[in-house]
Amino acid sequence: MATRLELSAELHNFLGSDNVYFQPPASVHMNYPAIRYSLDDIDLIRADNKNYNKPKSYLVTIIHKDPDNTLKDDILDVFEHISFERHYKADNLNHYVYKLYY
């Protein structure tokens, strides 16, 4: 099973910079474009009264100043188990939220 640190490395490679943040506190100054991600859920799959598998899902948010950036589409091609959740704008930044099983 892949670890969160492996996911972090893949997100760094995808973005091409160090602007990848795992559950950053409000005091952290983020540089853009950025990816912010956090653990969203752990699905327990049970068999024979035991936890057979524990796939984790993460909320991955691409934050970008440009509403026409290509990252929002490219991430769908890079990761297999990902789906688009929503878009919102805050502080003149575009936030694209995805659910990623990793």
CATH number at residue 56: 3.30.2000.30
pLDDT tens-digit profile of 54-87?
Answer: 789 999 999 999 999 999 999 999 999 999 999 9
pLDDT tens-digit profile of 28-45?
Answer: 999 999 999 999 998 877
Using 50, 70 and 90 to split pLDDT, how confident is the model at 1?
low
Token output for 98: 């995805």
Using 50, 70 and 90 to split pLDDT, how confident is the model at 90?
very high
CA angle, corner 31, sides to 88 and 34, nearest 5? 50
List CB contacts of 31: < 8 A, sequence separation 6 or more: 17, 19
**Domain boundaries, position 29:** 4-101
Number of domains in the chain: 1
- Dihedral sign of CA atoms 9, 67, 28, 23 in order: negative
